[in-house]
Amino acid sequence: MQYKNILFLCTGNSCRSPMAEGLLKTRMKNKNVKVHSAGTHAFEGVGASENSIEVMLEDRIDIADHKARILNEDLMKEADLTFAMAPEHLDYVRYMYPKYYDKIYLLRRFGREKEQLDDDTVHDPIGGDKDRYRQCYKILKFEINRIAELLFEE
């Protein structure tokens, strides 16, 4: 299948999913792939967290214009694949949008269904110091590169 629309999902759409969106957008810059993010409990229009912006800029990725969006049915419908940061996001989609549940995966679990992982959650850095955001970014960068290779055969 050709994936043209990728959605990243977290809770507030201010830390993890905007960083993941920025990473994949940067990687897919010259490809015909739309990348979005949303939150299960986002405050519509709020910007990315300051630490997320600063940590991304350390790698020359600018997400300063990001505005949070609440997950809705249109976003789920349009997405070819949705990547959730944590199991509770899968539960939310299973409850709220069950007909799209076959298109959502845990980011760290995608393509590794048979592997044993110590932790399949990308933990929320909200409220943490910049080092906590850097650790989250490091995990996201690894996972985005991994799934880009799986999905787009780079």
Whether 10 is catalytic = yes
Task: Tell me, yes or no, if 112 is annotated catalytic.
Answer: no
φ/ψ (deg, to 5) at 24: -70, -40
Tell me whether residue 124 is one of the annotated catalytic residues: yes
Quick one: DSSP state of residue 60?
A: T
Active site residue: 15, 16, 27, 136, which one?
16
Question: Is-contact 20 144, C-beta < 8 A?
Answer: yes
* CA dihedral for 55, 61, 67, 70, sign (positive or negative): negative
Task: Single out the catalytic residue among 10, 15, 27, 108.
Answer: 10
How far is residue 22's CA from residue 28's CA, in Å, rounded to a whole number? 10
Q: Among the options 80, 109, 120, 124, which is catalytic?
A: 124
* Alpha-carbon distances, residue 56 vs 89, 115, 140 (angstroms): 23, 29, 11
Q: What residues are annotated to the active site?
A: 10, 16, 124
